[in-house]
Amino acid sequence: MEKRILGLDPGLATLGFGAIDISESQKQSATVVDFGIIQTPAKTELPQRLQTLYEDLHDLMKQFQPQFVAVEKLFFYRMGNTILVAQARGIIMLVLAQHNLNFVEFIPGTVKQTLTGYGNAEKEEVQDAVARELQLDSIPKPDDAADALALAVTAWLHL
């Protein structure tokens, strides 16, 4: 039996997602299902951008049918960006509730510590660790998708 974990890296302009499967019989390995981003155009009005996130997240839940979700927790962002990221996170929480999905939140330092052993690791070090843990030939792109995979791997390693 497999367990699917979906990682979500919140953002209004770009929301990263990454899905992995964990085999119950081989808990030592994870397989990438898919990863990517949801984008909303900057010139679009905020309500329409939030609606796009809402609709696309519902589509992701139907497509991937995760058993568990990992979401980046708001920590410190630039003030102008914080409210927009918080609004995107609100949409994520709503969609997860509507799908009755359990989730865990990780601050960036926890993800870095889990994957590299160092809570202040550079982004490239985390991306290398994700590629290594998931046995990928290259670092996932774009960065938001790699961050989402890092969240999914962190959730797996904390299970």
Residues with a catalytic annotation lie at 9, 72, 144
In sequence order, what are the residues at sequence separation of 6 or more whose Cβ sits closer than 8 angstroms to the Cβ of residue 105? 70, 71, 72, 73
Which DSSP category does 43 fall into? Answer: T
In sequence order, what are the residues at sequence separation of 6 or more whose Cβ sits closer than 8 angstroms to the Cβ of residue 45? none
Phi/psi for 99 (5° steps) reads: -100, 10
Sheet strand arrangement including 103-106 = 30-39, 14-23, 2-9, 68-72, 103-106
Q: Are strands 2-9 and 14-23 parallel, antiparallel or unpaired?
A: antiparallel
In sequence order, what are the residues at sequence separation of 6 or more whose Cβ sits closer than 8 angstroms to the Cβ of residue 145? 9, 16, 17, 18, 35, 36, 37
The residue written with tokens 């509730």 in the block is 97
